[in-house]
Amino acid sequence: MEQPYEEIHIGNAIKHEMHKQGRKNTWLAEQIHCDASNISKIYNRSSLDSALLKQISDVLGINFFDLYNDKTDK
């Protein structure tokens, strides 16, 4: 019987990438035109609107949608 895949926590993935790139929350907030307090809220979310995820992907230069593709390809 196939095991269900682990849920992707996209907020954690974004937070990890921000840390990896040495970026601050205020920087991302400026890039996506929101308040810096919203960035912490994004980190706590397990899912995001696809338009917001696309915007963050473009800003950070990483395709976060690939995380979902990797899970469905197995």
For residue 43, the domain's CATH number is 1.10.260.40
Integer Cα distance of 33 and 3 in angstroms: 40
Whole-angstrom distance, CA of residue 64 vs CA of residue 54: 8
Structural domain span for residue 41: 10-72
pLDDT in tens, 50-70: 999 999 999 999 999 998 886
pLDDT at res. 4: 43
Q: Is 18 within a domain?
A: yes
Q: Report the distance separating Cα 68 and Cα 71, nearest Å.
A: 5
Could you tell me if residue 5 is inside a domain?
no
- The pTM score is 0.84
**Predicted local distance difference test score (pLDDT) of residue 73:** 53
3 part of a folded domain: no
Asked, for residue 2, whether it belongs to a domain, the answer is no
**What is the rounded distance in angstroms from the CA atom of residue 14 to the CA atom of residue 1?**
32
- Domain count for the chain, please give it: 1
Which residue, chain included where needed, has tokens 């980190």? 43
pLDDT of residue 25: 97
pLDDT of residue 26: 97
Alpha carbon of residue 43 to chain centroid: 7
Asked whether residue 62 is assigned to any structural domain, the reply reads yes
Taking only the tens place, the pLDDT of each residue in 6-43 is 688 999 999 999 999 999 999 999 999 999 999 999 99
Is residue 2 scored above 60 in pLDDT? no
